[in-house]
Chains A and B, each alone.
Chain A
């Protein structure tokens, strides 16, 4: 099997070959590759920029791989700010000995996902480090999006606004956990990792009352919503019984003692919208492949001067406060 050697990172002939054979072939940036930097033009006054590093174990998992994740993650970060993602750059840190076949596979997934999300991968960098210095491969992507029109209006958030999610929570977390085979858990759950930019743009263009959105990743639904509450001084109440959770994810949580509101997602966003437009948003979501399981999970109950709080309504009709994830998600058994 062909493997990445330190020579591939030295900047000489081997590097040139690798870039040519693996990256340029997939990313289709032949013109740009001759220059030291990619040059882009934008007609928007405002652009959005986001950067993120991707490390995941295992690198290939049901529903995706680190390459797909490196695109969807950055695309979604841009999309929830109301930007239209345009271009992405990618930096690879590869461990000596990493199979070239796997690298090709990862790069191909990136290219496919970029095409699907209609973003261009315009520049990249590759470094090879000694065995043991990184765990297989790390990817950092930076994305630039154009703000064509400002649709989001967090300051107008008010009591009664609807809190909507585009689908089931915890899929990515459980998919990764089962793929690791560490805790003996076996499921058919696939990661929800997906680019939501087209769906989000569709919603933004057809509505007027979207206050804010947040893509949910590590830390899960609870952490994402707590941040929204704190950032915009709003108190939200979500209903435990309304949260969409797959049976297998529920089962896995029961066995291992996880709380699904803290499990990772990679293709989920929460949307805070004027209650009058909640049905419209749900309707748009339900017609999209990434919104089929969308539902209303709660409401904004107050907008105050103080820091907002996230509350959860329990089955006995009491409410309790949810905090952001503290510490690691560990299986809780004994």
Chain B
């Protein structure tokens, strides 16, 4: 099953990292994301971090949706 929820990297030890999803924690492998640093968000699958979330990209996308939300809220009023 694919998990789309971002997990925050809160500790790194060699090839493994401790990640946090809304307070639930788990140790995952980070071999596939060698550049990962503390406090970055990753997507995990079957115990491995598969991608680092591009925060700039995510923020940009979130801003677009937030703007849309503002428009929806205005129209509803």
Contact = CB atoms under 8 A, between A and B. Distances in A.
Interface stretch (B19-27, B52-60, B65-73): B19-27
Interface range on chain A (Cβ under 8 Å from partner): 10 to 19
Contacts of B24: 174, 185-187, 248-249, 251-252, 254-255
A174 B26 CA distance: 13
A39 interface: no
A333 B46 CA distance: 7
Given A248-B22, A251-B21, A255-B26, A184 B3 contact: no
Interface in A156-172: none
Contacts of B23: 187-188, 246-248, 251
A35 interface: no
A251 B1 contact: no
A323 B27 CA distance: 33
Interface residues of B, number: 15
B44 to A, nearest CB: 7
A6 to B, nearest CB: 41
Interface in A279-334: 332-334
Contacts of A255: 3, 5, 7, 21, 24, 26, 44
A186 B21 CA distance: 10
Nearest to A248: B23
B3 A254 contact: yes
Interface of B: 1, 3, 5, 7, 20-27, 44, 46-47
